[in-house]
């Protein structure tokens, strides 16, 4: 396609969401003309960058927030955990297809087996974890999960959790070796390289500043070259706003009614990281635990193996920080500039109705590195401050939305916003995030390509064999799918 022709599809932002959607579209409709615009000078520099997120292949194998305790001491309900795991299986299948078709390189470049563990202290949480295990152990997608209260067993799984631990406080852990560490930045970069090879134009240093619906129903976008300041205009029938934390800003610019009433609640993050290989060699797991009072669910600290560019490190965090930017490379005016008459009440209701969260964030803001380090000692009693560096993580942009009863609520999931005619779609929110990019982008395809979607079913089934069905409904099919993707992705 020559640059003077207008594309069929414009993708705004070069993170994992646009990369996934672009790849789907090229597989399903190879003749589509697609253009991508990214404001930074490379792709995958915001949340999808491996050092800005935790790289957990979120499958609810270890994260307690996807399966809160029951109120009456009965077994907690596994439905949400199973649903999150199902969503991750779509990603495993999609990535397997991309490895088999050589669109993605060898699996070690983006995914590595890393057991997922939950570690808790105190009688109440030990009891909860045991009941969580009872509720999950026979679920087909959680096969192989183990539970123990025995420090010796836990020390075999993750020695650093036990070394130096004194006292007789009850502890417990679950362990499952089908967990993964994923380099979402590597997936994003590889997918964009492949898209470019198949004719997609990817323009970096190109910030989309305007979105305007034309009389013929198409969208005109205004793009500013961030090096020269020059503006260009591009038109397309479909626009995807994959701008991460800035998605709300662009959806507001589009003027679509569907974006009204939404707001963004930014939560910054920091990690402690060590590259001390003696420590790295002793810890091969992602260990999640219980959240502190008031902490947002995605700020539950965890002690993680991270593999980036073939090199392993340990990461502990994220610590939540208060910061009004909606992107790491955003502006301190992001929050005030997002206020509109339609979202004022939701913003106020969330501010007033989430006092424990606000108190928690202010408390985190004033914590020194030493104070932050104390949380690591709860996981790893022998940790030495000199081994660890405090680094900034990515910025989370949580969804604030209208609520009839409360005026507004804070939502910790993601939400796809699509105009009534399907011509523009955007993604708000963060968690479970990159792990479920495939599930979320399938929703975009269904809503925005409603006329084509039925005709794409056979190809979608070829790409994702379980598409349209639930793996968890059939233990044999689930086991076969887990085994097939494990083989291709070279994971357990």
Instruction: Name the residues that contact ligand FAD, by CB under 6 A.
Output: 12-18, 37-40, 45-48, 52-56, 58, 184, 207-208, 242-244, 246, 250, 269, 318, 393-396, 427, 430, 432-435
Which residue is at the shortest CB distance from ligand FAD? Answer: 15
Q: Which is nearer to ligand FAD, 132 or 396 (CB)?
A: 396
Nearer to ligand FAD, 223 or 279 (CB): 223
3-state secondary structure 6-36: CCCEEEECCCHHHHHHHHHHHHHCCCCCEEE
Q: How far is the CB of 329 from ligand FAD (least distance, A)?
A: 6
How is the beta sheet containing 424-429 ordered, strand by strand?
201-203, 34-37, 9-12, 238-241, 424-429, 414-418
In whole angstroms, the minimum distance from the beta carbon of 455 to ligand FAD comes to 27
Q: Which residues contact 306 (CB under 8 A, 6 or more apart)?
A: 50, 54, 55, 181, 273, 312, 313, 314, 315
Give the nearer residue to ligand FAD in terms of CB position, either 13 or 465.
13
- We find the least distance from the C-beta atom of residue 207 to ligand FAD, in angstroms, to be 4
CA distance 337 to 443: 29
Nearest distance from residue 14's CB to ligand FAD, in Å? 5
- Under a CB-based contact definition with an 8 Å cutoff, are residues 306 and 50 in contact? yes
Q: Cβ(431)–Cβ(298) under 8 Å?
A: yes
Nearer to ligand FAD (CB atom), residue 272 or residue 393: 393
Question: Is the Cβ–Cβ distance between 441 and 21 less than 8 Å?
Answer: yes
Q: List, in sequence order, the alpha helices (H) in 241-341.
A: 247-254, 277-280, 334-337
How far, in Å, CA of 302 to CA of 289, rounded?
7
Of 15 and 301, the one with the shorter C-beta distance to ligand FAD is 15
Q: Which is nearer to ligand FAD, 15 or 408 (CB)?
A: 15
Shortest reach from residue 440's CB to ligand FAD, in Å? 9
Work out the number of other CB atoms within 10 angstroms of the CB of residue 356. 11
**CB 223 → ligand FAD: shortest distance, Å?**
8
Sorted by sequence, the CB contacts under 8 Å of residue 32 that are 6+ apart come out as 8, 9, 25, 26
Question: Residue ranges of the alpha helices (H) in 163-217?
Answer: 184-197
| 67 or 250: CB nearest ligand FAD | 250
Closest to ligand FAD by CB, 40 vs 161, is 40
Round to whole Å and give the CA distance between 122 and 166: 14
Work out how close the CB of 489 gets to ligand FAD at its nearest, in angstroms, rounded to a whole number. 16
Token digits of residue 282: 């002793």
> Closest separation between CB of residue 185 and ligand FAD, Å?
8
CB closer to ligand FAD, 297 vs 381? 297
| Cβ at position 476, least distance to ligand FAD in Å | 28
What are the angstrom distances between the C-alpha of 400 and each of 346, 353, 403, 411? 7, 12, 9, 6
- Report the nearest approach of ligand FAD to the CB of residue 44 (Å): 6
Residue pair 220/233 in contact (Cβ under 8 Å)? The answer is yes
| Closest to 55 in 3D by CA, of 187, 243, 173 | 187
Distance CA 51, CA 394 (A): 8
* CB of 58 or CB of 401, closer to ligand FAD: 58
CA distance 20 to 445: 11
């Amino acid at each position: 396609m020559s640059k003077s022709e207008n594309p069929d599809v414009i993708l705004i932002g070069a993170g994992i969401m646009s990369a996934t959607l672009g790849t789907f579209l090229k597989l399903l409709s190879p003749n589509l003309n697609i253009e991508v615009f990214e404001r930074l000078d490379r792709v995958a520099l915001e949340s999808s960058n491996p050092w800005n997120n935790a790289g957990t292949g979120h499958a609810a194998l270890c994260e307690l927030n996807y399966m809160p305790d029951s109120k009456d001491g009965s077994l907690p309900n596994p439905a949400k955990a199973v649903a999150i795991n199902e969503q991750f299986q779509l990603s495993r299948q999609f990535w397997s297809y991309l490895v088999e078709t050589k669109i993605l390189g060898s699996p070690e470049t983006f995914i590595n087996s890393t057991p997922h563990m939950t570690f808790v202290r105190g009688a109440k949480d030990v009891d909860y974890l045991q009941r969580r295990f009872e509720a999950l152990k026979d679920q087909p997608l959680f096969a192989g999960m183990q539970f123990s209260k025995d420090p010796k067993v836990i020390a075999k799984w993750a020695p650093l959790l036990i070394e130096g631990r004194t006292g007789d406080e009850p502890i417990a852990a679950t362990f499952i070796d089908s967990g993964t560490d994923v380099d979402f930045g590597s997936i994003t970069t590889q997918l964009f390289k492949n898209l470019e090879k198949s004719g997609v134009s990817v323009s970096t240093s190109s910030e989309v500043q305007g979105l305007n619906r034309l009389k013929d129903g198409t969208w005109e976008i205004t793009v500013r070259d961030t090096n020269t300041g020059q503006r260009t205009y591009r038109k397309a029938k479909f626009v995807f706003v994959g701008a991460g934390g800035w998605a709300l800003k662009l959806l507001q610019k589009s003027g679509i009614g569907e974006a009204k009433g939404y707001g963004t609640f930014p939560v910054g993050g920091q990690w402690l990281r060590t590259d001390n290989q003696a420590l790295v060699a002793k810890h091969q797991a992602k260990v999640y635990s219980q959240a502190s009072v008031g902490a947002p669910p995605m700020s539950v600290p965890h002690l993680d193996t991270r593999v980036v560019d073939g090199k392993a490190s340990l990461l502990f965090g994220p610590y939540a920080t208060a910061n009004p930017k909606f992107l790491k490379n955003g502006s301190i005016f992001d929050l005030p500039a997002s206020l509109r008459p339609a979202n004022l009440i939701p913003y106020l209701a969330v501010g007033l109705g989430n006092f424990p969260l606000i108190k928690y964030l202010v408390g985190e803001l004033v914590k020194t590195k030493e104070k932050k380090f104390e949380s690591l000692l709860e996981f790893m009693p022998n940790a030495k401050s000199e081994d660890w560096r405090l680094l900034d993580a990515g910025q989370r942009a949580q969804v604030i939305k209208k609520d009839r009863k409360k005026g507004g609520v804070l939502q910790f999931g993601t939400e796809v916003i699509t105009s009534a005619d399907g011509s523009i779609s955007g993604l708000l929110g963060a968690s479970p995030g990159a792990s479920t990019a495939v599930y979320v982008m399938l929703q975009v395809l269904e809503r925005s390509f409603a006329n084509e979607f039925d005709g794409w079913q056979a190809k979608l089934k070829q790409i994702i064999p379980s598409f349209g069905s639930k793996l968890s409904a059939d233990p044999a099919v689930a086991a076969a799918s887990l085994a097939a993707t494990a083989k291709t992705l070279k994971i357990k």
